[in-house]
């Protein structure tokens, strides 16, 4: 479902240029749960940003379900981020003055889901990740890190994306919470038949995924 051909990203600045992603090609199957590992600065986050159309590549193509993402117009890119991708960030990135439910409803509003459906679906998703009752109305500042990450997983699933991109989702959590979040992602991906690409430096976690890609200096290392 995901195919990447000769993808490169070069950051240019006064001090020279950095090739963060260097001529990468790979593909991921439908419903697959894959992980990306690599040392700090190896280009994992950059690759994820390119896949989620948060940034544009210097070279190469990204093809999802036979649709080439690279070269799309701005408006189509917004639509792609909205409907095809669900993002989970290392530092949760919830909107601070919105409650848990409102955070999960936000992507649905952007995708023009009818208002009445939004709240229902948001509550259902939050229930699936274990956020219930009065925690639904809490703002991120009053939730624990693990709880915030669970809300952010619910938010990523809001518009039933085909591909979930998670950048070190357990990076800020202790191992117990990390394992719980990971299991949750795994379970939901299975039940919703969603493809997942998760960046991690936890080799235990990587070992439990269907496939692991290893990045070094922006290059993909064949195992």
Partner 1 sequence: MNLFSRGIRNAFRNVIRTSSIIIILALSIGLSIAMLAAKQAVQDKIATVKQSVGNTVNISPAGFRGFEGGGTALTSDQLAKVSKVSHVISVTQMLSDRLDSNTTNLQSAIEAGQLGQRFGPGSSDTQPQLPTTDSSSSSPGTGTNTITRSFTPPVTITGTNNLSTTAAFNGNSAKITSGATINASSDENVALVGKALAEKNNLSVGSTFTAYNTTITVKGIYDTGTTFGNGGVVVPLATLQRLSSQSGAVTSATATIDSLDNLATATTAIKSALGSDADVSNSQDVASQTVEPLESVKKISVFSLVGAVAAGAVIILLTMMMIVRERKREIGVMKAIGASNAKIMGQFIVEALTLTILGLLVGTLVGIAAASPITKTLVTNSTTSSQSQQFGGGPMGAPGSNAGSRPVGGPAFRSIQQTSRQTLQNISASVGGSTLALGAGLAMLIAILGSAVPAYIISTIKPAEAMRSE
Query: Can you give the binding site for ligand ATP, defined by CB under 6 A?
Result: 11, 13, 18, 20, 38, 40-46
| Residue 157 binds which of Mg ion, partner 1, ligand ATP, none (CB < 5-8 A, kind-dependent) | none
| Residue 35 binds which of ligand ATP, Mg ion, partner 1, none (CB < 5-8 A, kind-dependent) | none
Backbone phi, psi, residue 182, to 5°: -60, -45
Q: Alpha-carbon distance 125 to 154, whole Å?
A: 5
Q: Alpha-carbon distance 212 to 151, whole Å?
A: 26
| Residue 23 binds which of Mg ion, ligand ATP, partner 1, none (CB < 5-8 A, kind-dependent) | none
Pick the closer one to ligand ATP by CB: 107 or 218.
218
Pick the closer one to ligand ATP by CB: 9 or 121.
9
**Options 35, 42, 45, 149; binder of Mg ion; rule CB under 5 A:** 45
DSSP state of 129: T
Closest CA to 31 of 195, 212, 197, 196: 195
| Residue 115 binds which of Mg ion, ligand ATP, partner 1, none (CB < 5-8 A, kind-dependent) | partner 1
Q: Alpha-carbon distance 146 to 149, whole Å?
A: 5
Strand stretches in 14-109, DSSP E: 16-28, 33-38, 59-64, 67-68, 85-88
Pick the closer one to partner 1 by CB: 104 or 184.
104
């Amino acid at each position: 479902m995901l195919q990447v051909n000769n993808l490169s990203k070069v950051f240019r600045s006064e001090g020279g240029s950095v090739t963060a992603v260097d001529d990468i090609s790979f593909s991921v199957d439908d419903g697959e749960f894959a992980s990306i590992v690599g040392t700090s600065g190896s280009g994992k986050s950059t690759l994820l940003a390119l896949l989620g159309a948060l940034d544009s590549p210097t070279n190469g193509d990204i093809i999802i379900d036979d649709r080439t993402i690279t070269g799309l117009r701005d408006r189509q890119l917004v639509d792609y981020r909205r409907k095809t991708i669900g993002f989970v960030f290392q530092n949760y990135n919830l909107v601070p003055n919105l409650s848990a439910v409102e955070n999960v409803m936000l992507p649905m509003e952007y995708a023009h889901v009818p208002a009445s459906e939004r709240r229902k679906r948001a509550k259902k998703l939050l229930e699936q990740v274990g956020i219930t009752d009065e925690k639904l109305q809490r703002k991120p500042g009053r939730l624990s890190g693990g709880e915030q990450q669970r809300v952010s997983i619910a938010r990523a699933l809001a518009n039933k994306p085909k591909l979930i991109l998670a950048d070190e989702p357990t990076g800020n959590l202790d191992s117990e919470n990390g394992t719980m979040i990971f299991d949750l992602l795994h379970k939901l991906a299975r039940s919703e038949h969603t493809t997942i690409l998760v960046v991690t430096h936890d080799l235990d976690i990587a070992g439990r995924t269907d496939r692991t890609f290893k990045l070094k200096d922006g290059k993909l290392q064949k195992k």
